Amino acid sequence: MMDVVDSYRWRPPKTNYLPHNVDVDPVVEEYDVPLGKATDHENASYFQKMKLAAQEYNIVRPKGYTVSYHATSEMEKHHFGQTHPMKPWRLTLTKSLVTAYGMPFAMDNYNTRHATYEELNSFHSSDYLDYLATAAPEDQPRDLDNPDKDVKFNLGGSDCPLFHGLYDYCSMSAGTSLDAARKICNKQSDIAIAWGGGLHHAKKSEASGFCYINDIVLAILELLRLYPRVLYIDIDVHHGDGVEEAFFSTDRVMTVSFHKYQPEVFFPGTGGLHDNGPKSEHNPGAHHAINVPLNDGITDEQYEHLFTSIIGKVNTHFRPSAIALQCGADSLAGDRLGRFNLKVEGHAACVRYCKSLGIPMILFGGGGYTPRNVARAWAYETSIAIGADQNIPAEIPQHAPWRQHFVHDTLFPTLEQSMSEPRNNKNTDKRLRDIVSHVHEQLRFVQHAPSVQSMIIPPGLGPIRDEVEVRLKEEQDERDENLRRQKEAGLGVEGEL
């Protein structure tokens, strides 16, 4: 019998990890999970294949800027429920492609820690976090038999179930995004990747849309400690309502969301074209929420033109000093919930354009409910971040773990391969021109970006936790010897002719 996976065991409270004002009982049952673990020999063999792939595809560190990759493998082992659309295993598939192409050699790779209770509390309310941390897991949603049954903080229903290890999962997700933001703030990274984050629906005191902790808000709050203005862009098929709401009344954050809008039937039902922030001109947030409502079936060409036309103008007027880009992959063709006709190339064009602006940027994950296509998109967008998108082959490497789960052996499936038949495109060119015209009109009111002097970085979001940093440094020291050998091998460094 396999060992019990550690993330499914109850763990006693850590310092600054769980709330201090509640009694914590063991709430996560132990149970066996049939997950295999690679042997040291298998890991060494795969590492050699990664090295060969990096050399063959000329995967080297980009010149002039640094890319960092933030993740924790423990997130991947969690499960929302057998029939729930959200599958954290998509992160495993993403990692399988990123590593198979040898991309880690071109990045700084961080195994991130859990976000602490205080860090989560910088946005979320204490009563919500206390309940999230101590609510017992439930085998089936409370509203399964009774749709009208009340659920506290929207936790425990079909939308946001109380699954085993929930608080761990949330704190790990937030931890990846916060670590990415810190690396941007201290200039260790120019593009930071956190595919485990991007949960844009969570509110201050409420879970929503499979999202429990709004890691994007936490990361943006961290960025605002140093950067005067942050531009948040959302290409998930659902409206980024939680982030928009959090920064509704400030002119230091502009939110731009591209999403399907059919309020009667499609979640969350918000984000109409004329929803541009507070109605009062005296509120600093007026005109700082841009919404791009779309219909089913939009194509790569339409989406890319719309994106560049709007984001180019936003960049000119708002002059952001940092970008937070949520790359929800449920806007891809063939998604279990989405209804667009976007291919991997069209989705990734948004990342390529934002990178071309030369502004410090975090890439978040988000939605995406057909795991193989999520992994394709995020792996290809990782290659864009490191400047290797022209080098990697379209065929998925033979040594990629779980290769059979991709069904087709290409990184760029056609619409026919992604779904039985393309969706009917309901986006007319006139409608898209009207959207661009409306957004440009709104941006006329954003004539002067706010001036914020940030010469000194203020204290962090919570008390400085020296003991956490010391522990992390000790763990990093243990890995230094392997890192030294890797550098001596010249991996990820462009060779001389």
Decide: helix, strand or coil at residue 129: helix
Q: How far apart are CA 377 and CA 391, in angstroms?
A: 16
Quickly count helices (H) and strands (E) in the chain: 13, 8
460-493 burial, b if ≥16 CB within 10 A, otherwise e? bbeeebeebeeebeeeeeeeeeeeeeeeeeebbe
Is the Cα torsion angle 386, 387, 389, 392 positive or negative in sign? negative
Exposure string over 149-185, b if 16+ CB within 10 A, otherwise e: eebebbbbbebbbbbbbbbbbbbbbbbbbbbbbbbbb
Looking at residue 332, the DSSP 8-state letter turns out to be B
Enter the tokens of residue 162.
């109380």
* Cis-peptide into 268, omega within 30 deg: yes
Pairwise CA distance, residues 312 & 327, whole Å: 18
Contact status, residue 304 vs residue 346, Cβ threshold 8 Å: yes
Strand partners, 211: 208
Tokens of residue 129, six digits: 């976090």
Under 8 Å CB-to-CB from 240, ≥6 apart: which residues? 200, 201, 216, 232, 234, 255, 257, 259, 271, 326
Kind and range of the H or E run holding 243 = helix 241-246
DSSP label at residue 108: E
Token pair belonging to 38:
């690679």
Please tell me whether 209 is known to bind a ligand: yes
CA distances from 452 to 227, 228, 251, 458 (A): 8, 5, 11, 13
> Is 330 annotated as belonging to a binding site?
yes
Task: Based on the residue annotation, tell me whether 201 is a catalytic residue of this protein.
Answer: yes
Beta carbons within 8 Å of 351's beta carbon, 6+ residues apart: 325, 327, 363, 381, 384, 385
Closest residue by Cα to residue 108 from 49, 199, 193, 223: 193
Catalytic residue among 70, 201, 317, 347: 201
The annotation status of 236 as a binding-site residue, yes or no, is yes
Q: Is 335 annotated as a binding residue?
A: no
Q: ∠ CA 179-89-304 to the nearest 5 degrees?
A: 70
Binding residues: 159, 209, 236, 238, 330, 369
Name the residues annotated as catalytic. 201
Binding residues for a divalent metal cation: 236, 238, 330
Binding residues for substrate: 159, 209, 369
